[in-house]
Structure 1
Amino acid sequence: MAEAHPPKRTEKLQLMLDDLEMAAIDDWRFANRMPSRAAAIRELIRLGLETAPMLEETPVDKASTDFRIVDPDQAKDG
């Protein structure tokens, strides 16, 4: 009997990150021994979708740049 294979990934997603955001992802990747940056990002998205509550209010008045992985002001303090 043939093994079932997961569907082939055919969609690309372009995402712009600053140095602090990339460092946070890379730190998480290495701490969790993920095989690649892409695998780490997919796992973080999966975890977020699985554990995050639904938004009570849709942030319609926010720009894309308002959504950050790392708050630069908190990174300076820490």
Structure 2
Amino acid sequence: MSELERPERLQIMLSGEELLAVENFRFEKRMPSRAAAVRELLRRGLAAEGFLSAEVGVKSQDFGVLDKDTNGTDT
């Protein structure tokens, strides 16, 4: 069995209004999944607080909370 690319699972509970906000963001930004939308929102929130800098031109498959450097390690 191959190793998962994202082996860690995070479960959250949302109100109906919160889920609707995530879904609206997802569809407006044409995100491929809820998970990708939540990762992008986390990335943007962390970037806004100065924990990482947002990058332009990232493909949908590359959406993640932390960016990878050229060696493939989390930055």
TM range (shorter): 0.5 to 0.7
Question: TM-score normalized by structure 2?
Answer: 0.59
Task: Decide which structure has the larger Cα Rg and report it.
Answer: 1
- Pick from 44, 48, 66: which aligns with 2:45? 48
Q: Deviations over 1:35-73 (max 9, x none)?
A: 00000000000000001268xxxxxxxxxxxxxxxxxxx
Question: TM-score normalized by structure 1?
Answer: 0.57
RMSD (CA atoms) = 1.7
Cα distance between partner residues in 1 of 2:18 and 2:41:
13
- Pick from 14, 30, 39: which aligns with 2:27? 30
Secondary structure, counterpart of 1:12 in structure 2 = coil
Identical aligned residues as a percent: 50
Q: Does 1:39 align with 2:36?
A: yes
Look up the match of 1:70. Answer: none
Give the number of the structure whose residues are more often helix, by fraction. 1
